[in-house]
Amino acid sequence: MSLDKVIMDINKIEKKYSNLTRFNRDLINVNPLQTAGRLTPEAKRSMLEFGDGYSVCDYCKGTLEKIENPPIKSFVEEDFPNFIGSDYSRITHGAREGNARVMKAMTKLGDSIIVDGNAHYSTIVSAQAAGLKIIRVPAGDDPGRILNVEDYIPLIEKYNPSLILLTYPDGTVGNLPDAKRLGEIAKQKNVPYLINGAYAIGRMPINMTELGADFIVGSGHKSMASSGPVGILGFNEKYKDQITEASETYPNKELGCIGCSVRGAPLITMMASFPTIVKRVQNWDEEVAKARWFSEEMETLGMRQMGEKPHNHDLMQFITEPFYEISKIHPHKRGFLYKALKSEGIVGLKHGLTKSMKISTYGTSRNNLQKVLDTFSTLLDQYSN
């Protein structure tokens, strides 16, 4: 290749990658994946300080969770376990990696695992990767998709699982099943119990011990104002040896995280946002009230909220048939809704979806949510004839 060709390619690459931008952050974002992951001012500052690769490793003596500067050790050993009611915690690359770590530690090839019918796809993939037999507790039919945790009992008795898992809440309709009752069942049946709290930890008060769980996982980038990917795994004393099993060759390296996990800005932003997280979960009642108000207003527009009613979480899914009917006649077809909302400064809905939509009201003011409702109403009026 000639030098001229190399220079031309570099220019092309620079043009493509040197000015990566997203949408204007002043826009109203209702994406459930992002509402509770928005960075705090403290996290934004820390991201600049620790943006370089392996930036937390300056004072590492071989174990991430033992680093004292920045204060990862106290965060992992004291503050976060106190926050979630666990004996211990470990940093992960996300909730799914936490689930996978528990499955790997608590099962062997061919074992059975019982999961809720609303479980995230990554739960299933993690179990498949571990070579496990997956038994699903059926959730109710639409629109409620209500899960009865009592339905775990006959499946536990039939399959003798090595682990049971509950998604709390689920990421589809935002239901919060009776996690505490399932904890009682798990104790009675002497089966390890894992909660996937990817949409719980950092948004709402949650205590692993009070719920009777042995393990809990959370997502920093979904719910803890972190840049991500980053997550947290909490576990109790009983299963400490399985979760923290070390390499025979490198005894300061734990097998469950392949020796180490998050080594830079994602972890630091989670830590920097932690004081805000601790404060904001105390306002959960207001977040629920706001979500219920928004749901009622949506239904006055002809939409139908799925999941529990009254709703108990900010994540909601709506059946939006009126918008689907508009898409049949609109020149932009199914893309009309996304474009119309963005032109009004509203983002977060998936392009092309008009039959249904997932919305989170978390951390968004009622004034901004009213603008979303008003925009929906204007669109419906515009195409009512």
Q: Where are the domains of the chain?
A: 28-38+284-382, 41-280
Q: What residues have CB less than 8 Å from 363, skipping those under 6 apart?
A: 35, 36, 38, 280, 287
Q: What's the one-letter identity of residue 259?
A: G
- Which pair of structure tokens corresponds to residue 338? 């996304």
Neighbours of 110 (CB within 10 A): 10
Fold of 41-280: Aspartate Aminotransferase; domain 2 (3.40.640)
Whether the Cβ atoms of residue 323 and residue 337 lie closer than 8 Å to each other: yes
CATH of segment(s) 28-38+284-382? 3.90.1150.10
Q: What is the pLDDT of residue 49?
A: 94
Whether the Cβ atoms of residue 231 and residue 220 lie closer than 8 Å to each other: yes
- Which pair of structure tokens corresponds to residue 181? 């009752």
Per-residue pLDDT of the chain (385 residues; tens, 9 = 90+): 555 555 567 888 888 888 888 766 689 999 999 999 999 999 999 999 999 989 999 989 999 999 999 999 999 999 999 999 999 999 999 999 999 999 999 999 999 999 999 999 999 999 999 999 999 999 999 999 999 999 999 999 999 999 999 999 999 999 999 999 999 999 999 999 999 999 999 999 999 999 999 999 999 999 999 998 999 999 999 999 999 999 999 999 999 999 999 999 999 999 999 999 999 999 999 999 999 999 999 999 999 999 999 999 999 999 999 999 999 999 999 999 999 999 999 999 999 999 999 999 999 999 999 999 999 999 999 987 6
Burial status of residue 300 (CB atoms within 10 A of its CB: 0-12, 13-18, 19 or more): exposed
Which of 234, 233, 219 is closest to 269 using CA atoms?
A: 219
- Which pair of structure tokens corresponds to residue 8? 């031309």
Whether the Cβ atoms of residue 229 and residue 266 lie closer than 8 Å to each other: yes
Cα 233 off chain centre by: 13
Neighbours of 366 (CB within 10 A): 14
CA quadruple 26, 29, 34, 35: dihedral sign: positive
DSSP H or E stretch at residue 327: helix 321-329
- To the nearest 10 degrees (0 to 180), the angle between helices 321-329 and 366-382 is 50
Q: What is the pLDDT of residue 221?
A: 97
Whether the Cβ atoms of residue 251 and residue 62 lie closer than 8 Å to each other: no
**pTM of the predicted protein model:** 0.94
Neighbours of 33 (CB within 10 A): 18
Q: What is the pLDDT of residue 117?
A: 97
